[in-house]
Amino acid sequence: MTKLTWGMIGGGEGSQIGPAHRLGAGLDGEFSFVAGALDHRPDAGRAYGQALGLDADRSYGDWREMLEGERARADRVDLVTVATPNATHFEITKAFLEGGFHVLCEKPMTMTVAEGEEIVSIAKETGKISAVNYGYSGYSLVRHMKAMVARGEIGKIRVVVAEFAHGHHADAADADNPRVRWRYDPAQAGVSAQFADCGIHAMHMASFVTGQEVERLSADTISAIGSRVLEDDAMVNFRMSGGATGRLWTSSVAIGRQHGLTLQVFGETGGLRWAQEQPNQLYYMPLGQRLQVIERGEAGLSPEADRASRVTIGHSEGMPLAFANIYKDLAEAIRARKEGRTMDPAANLYPRAEDGLRSMAAVFAVAESGKAEGKWVDARPPMFR
């Protein structure tokens, strides 16, 4: 099987997210890393790309150079990942989609709802894949959780409880640290800080697992550290398209919490709980029975879970392998399009531009509701109302 080719924008030397993408894209042997514009400093980007093994003529100084260079090649890359600062996502994703490339963009996909709607429209017009890296949806047991809900194993969903709370920005003395400060500055972060950074992951997980979309929400947002303009803690109540009620807490001042992404789903006949810090166990409580612990890699799981699991039971699989499942899905999607065949349903789970758009609409809804003391607002983007 011929490998697909892959290029990356951003994610240069010292980046937190770059190595996770490079590990994920290369893990299953589906993609070869052949092109990149890895740094906002052209010379540093070219040098680092070549240090990673890129040919000199495909280690670009910036994304515009990469767009023109790859567009002119007969062997242009099959997929481009955008892992640059948030405010640049829209411009770069739009340019590459219009240039005829499939794109995986880091979240948030855009900074505004209107930009998100434009990306959705461009993806439809060009016929190109526009995916968003909600990488936590790549975990094997998250996919099994989704399969259990879809099969009706816990009945109709009543309540969803999602959390993404950490304490890494809790020190008020650290408020002027440039690495922290920008996150709470509207000029750089937009209308939301903590919810836009972490809360949308939890909200996307709620929708991904339940198969329901968030329609309305009410938010209580605070800046626990008073010098911050944007929120560092939020509690969001929401109502979903299939009748489920949702509760979401996200915080950056929860001292003692390290990562804190957790999802609980309660149906008429059972409940499920999964935590990202212990990703190899899914807790399942059938109504009137004993608690069951489902282990990643055990026999009898769903095709979705089996496809997303690589190492034997009892051995940990972490975030880069979850990212790898997104890339594995995208490889299947790209090959299916090239070959004119139907995509494997168990692989058709990668987050799409529509998910990125819904997340951005939720960000603005949370900001609006928080300023209005919890007023219930429509959380849907206009094109989906």
Mean pLDDT, residues 154-165: 98
What is the rounded distance in angstroms from the CA atom of residue 161 to the CA atom of residue 184? 25
What is the rounded distance in angstroms from the CA atom of residue 202 to the CA atom of residue 275? 11
Radius of gyration of the chain (CA): 21
Per-residue model confidence (pLDDT) at position 16: 87
Per-residue model confidence (pLDDT) at position 188: 84
Mean pLDDT, residues 167-191: 88
For the segment 118-127, what is each residue's pLDDT rounded down to a tens digit?
Answer: 999 999 999 9
What is the rounded distance in angstroms from the CA atom of residue 70 to the CA atom of residue 9? 13
The letter for the amino acid at 252 is S
Per-residue model confidence (pLDDT) at position 358: 98
What is the rounded distance in angstroms from the CA atom of residue 149 to the CA atom of residue 81? 31
| Interior angle at CA 108, CA 103 and CA 114, nearest 5 | 90
| pTM for this predicted structure | 0.95
- 187 pLDDT higher than 90: no
What is the rounded distance in angstroms from the CA atom of residue 234 to the CA atom of residue 358? 18
> Could you check whether the bond before residue 85 is cis, i.e. omega within 30 degrees of 0?
no
Q: Using CA of residue 142, residue 146, residue 151, residue 153, what is the dihedral sign?
A: positive
- 364 pLDDT higher than 90: yes
What are the angstrom distances between the C-alpha of 47 and each of 16, 213, 238, 343? 18, 44, 47, 38
What is the signed CA dihedral for 318, 323, 327, 332, rounded to 10 degrees? 60
Comparing 55 with 14, the larger pLDDT belongs to 55
Q: How far apart are the first and last CA of the chain?
A: 43
Percent of all residues in the chain with a pLDDT value above 70, rounded to a whole number = 100
DSSP characters for 339-372? HT-PPPGGGTT--BHHHHHHHHHHHHHHHHHHHT
Per-residue model confidence (pLDDT) at position 125: 98
Name the DSSP class of 75: T
**pLDDT grade for 182, boundaries at 50, 70 and 90:** confident
Cβ-based neighbour number of residue 94 at 10 Å: 18
**pLDDT grade for 175, boundaries at 50, 70 and 90:** confident
**pLDDT grade for 174, boundaries at 50, 70 and 90:** confident
What is the rounded distance in angstroms from the CA atom of residue 271 to the CA atom of residue 284? 6
Per-residue model confidence (pLDDT) at position 249: 98
- 176 pLDDT higher than 90: no
Mean pLDDT, residues 353-361: 98
Per-residue model confidence (pLDDT) at position 178: 80
- 1 pLDDT higher than 80: no
What is the rounded distance in angstroms from the CA atom of residue 61 to the CA atom of residue 65? 7
Mean pLDDT, residues 233-258: 98
Mean pLDDT, residues 83-93: 95
What is the rounded distance in angstroms from the CA atom of residue 63 to the CA atom of residue 84? 10
Average pLDDT over all residues of the chain: 96
Per-residue model confidence (pLDDT) at position 235: 98
Helices 353-371, 200-210: axis angle to 10 degrees equals 120
Per-residue model confidence (pLDDT) at position 177: 84
Block residue for tokens 């000199």: 56
What is the rounded distance in angstroms from the CA atom of residue 219 to the CA atom of residue 371? 9
Per-residue model confidence (pLDDT) at position 144: 98
Per-residue model confidence (pLDDT) at position 181: 86
Name the DSSP class of 58: G
Per-residue model confidence (pLDDT) at position 241: 98
Block residue for tokens 């340019």: 95
Mean pLDDT, residues 349-353: 97
